[in-house]
Structure 1
């Protein structure tokens, strides 16, 4: 049955629409932190639909909210008043930390980042954008143009002039040998030098933890140091929180808060986990930035009633059950467990991350050379053992991405770590 579906997939869908596994997997249903395939096999899910199933599969509060709202009205567009959209916008604005915040809902993180770029370039009257090396911001024409990861940027054509900055990857590149303070100073000096050779850009867009890039991040405070340089020149800071938002990193509700000594960003983008599988993205910005557009605009499907109802129920559940605290506690145990395993597996170059956002980078033993074949082997072996994880990384896809739903229990963390240990030892 699955092989027939695979053949049909290949016959009608693009070749570049990637699938995991030599024998692709059809997931038919899920509950809690587990999913089942078409053959009835059960898996512990440590990837959550690319960090999208944030709280749990089939969370009763969310499925109930969706069903009740669908029974009333599913959609009317932003041309009409929409109570669930207003209610979720109020919550997001308050949680954002941005003063006088305005919220615009989209259907994806790609569209959210596209909107943020539109706002920044219109507000600053500049089409130059600063972006981080190894970054990923989506698959639209503008987002591809600022993505600093060759594997996810299929064209060099762009409506934007993109200038790439050092700092997103701590343990690779020309500054990797420096300690955290000197690393930050070197990256700030590089930023200043870059700005001395170009007209003032509109904004810097940066992921606090690079998602597709393999869960890499700079030392805490680097973007705060960047902010001082940017603020002097009126350049905006866009924090791409599509993967890091809503408490996944454990220590903070937003990833930018690890760099927040000078206040919040000018613009925050979000998506993925807030809908727990429903299609929600969005932008939060100060009113003067959000309102700078001098033309009409709507979003046909952004903020539709059924997705907003899901987002409200999901956010309430996350806050009421302190899933941020759970991500910190259980994620801390999981990362230490994986580091203990890594110390005994020569192929593991580094285990990094925070909260329930953990990367296991594989390299050829004794070198820094990425080993995507080893990562593929582990991915397959983990599946055979009943565990689903993701892949990523800027230096080929050699990083295992571990990002379970934030309700993960200690027992499930131990179970998943044991399966991953066996898979790593199989290389």
Structure 2
């Protein structure tokens, strides 16, 4: 039997040094079923991270497996150069649920590529290379996506053909405006937006891109209506709004199908990826026809919307809608916060619990302030794993535990995960 330790040795020998496994003693996930996974040594875990919010519904869902198997038996790849019914049908499905009028859909292979395409559309449509992005944001690994990412620990490339300005955003805990109430906080950030446009740009900005809830940034969550207030200033200047829904889409936040809907707006451009294929490589961009069609040269996508991915996407979306997984995300998210809330309040080294639905996080600090404590975060991550729960890590300083249970999680499974996390917190609490 192959062991986790053997695989780690091979991993480090052949993969680049800039990628690394999550845990001190990493595991190899061999198989999964529903909310659970098993490693190669037979240990079972509750999966509350889903390969970074990508296995969104659950592992080995029969309806999705059947759809992928049926398509794989027919044809696995054609590209956008051919009339693929799965791709066209899925584009119709996405356009219908996007909320964007007269929508056009372009499929890509990753969220990075989707955000890259969204910026290309905006800069071409507006004839400008100026972009506004949010502090603490993360939009991907491509050269363009790195240019609009505001996290030094994730930024590989500082040079870009874009002129990017970063404005105050969702990460309230470390904002200079953190002591303000919701309305005053939003107003202060809008003032910062206006000042940045007036002082830091040439006046013709192409777009502002934002995650409704910042994913890699530690699930930083702005007040409802935050981006709606900003969009009024953007509309006055004809600046497009790009909503990066790579992690917030498809009902994950519970209260809404898309993260942007918490803000009373409809974006000009929307990007999606991660969970839409429930583990299959699939991403894309949605925009109004007038914006999407501003590209007037030949282009195509080799892997975007290929039949296998599209079949997975259609089956995943149908399962989400037929089983009201958005409603389940809301109900289970409320249960999660209700049970964890008192524990967080009583723990001096946890600054806050934040997020929406089944997209929740806790930020870990040194007691008595908000100084980040990444070492304790790592210990809590492993303490949870030792108790059969897999969660993620993120945040600007690596001090945030990210929780993203499967959208189809049951109440019993949720309680098991909460119990494991509370027990892990108790272990770390005993070390302080």
The TM-score range, normalised by the shorter chain, is: over 0.9
Deviation of the 1:343 alpha carbon = 2.0
Q: How does 1:296-315 map to 2 (within 5 A)?
A: 296-315=298-317
Structure 2 partner of 1:416? 417
Deviation of the 1:155 alpha carbon = 2.3
Structure 1 partner of 2:165? 163
Deviation of the 1:2 alpha carbon = 2.2
Structure 2 partner of 1:201? 205
Give secondary structure in 1 for the equivalent of 2:220.
Answer: coil
Give secondary structure in 2 for the equivalent of 1:353.
Answer: strand
Backbone CA RMSD of aligned residues: 0.8
The separation in 2 between residues aligned to 1:38 and 1:87, in whole angstroms, is 38
Please tell me whether the aligned partners of residues 51 and 272 of structure 1 are also in contact (alpha carbons under 8 angstroms): yes
1:231 and 2:229 correspond: no
Please tell me whether the aligned partners of residues 105 and 280 of structure 1 are also in contact (alpha carbons under 8 angstroms): yes
Structure 2 partner of 1:191? 193
Q: How does 1:26-425 map to 2 (within 5 A)?
A: 26-197=28-199, 198-199=201-202, 200-260=204-264, 263-394=265-396, 396-425=397-426
Deviation of the 1:18 alpha carbon = 2.2
Q: What is the TM-score with the length of structure 2 in the denominator?
A: 0.97
Quick check: 281-290 or 7-16, which moved more? 7-16
The separation in 2 between residues aligned to 1:165 and 1:23, in whole angstroms, is 38
The separation in 1 between residues aligned to 2:355 and 2:20, in whole angstroms, is 25
The separation in 1 between residues aligned to 2:136 and 2:76, in whole angstroms, is 38
Deviation of the 1:344 alpha carbon = 2.3
Please tell me whether the aligned partners of residues 167 and 218 of structure 1 are also in contact (alpha carbons under 8 angstroms): yes
Give secondary structure in 2 for the equivalent of 1:426.
Answer: helix
Q: What is the TM-score with the length of structure 1 in the denominator?
A: 0.98
Give secondary structure in 1 for the equivalent of 2:73.
Answer: helix
The separation in 1 between residues aligned to 2:427 and 2:122, in whole angstroms, is 48
How many equivalent residue pairs?
424
Gaps of 5+ in 2: none
Give secondary structure in 1 for the equivalent of 2:173.
Answer: coil
Deviation of the 1:4 alpha carbon = 2.0
The separation in 2 between residues aligned to 1:130 and 1:100, in whole angstroms, is 25
Give secondary structure in 2 for the equivalent of 1:345.
Answer: coil
Deviating beyond 3 angstroms after TM superposition, the runs of 4 or more aligned structure 1 residues are none
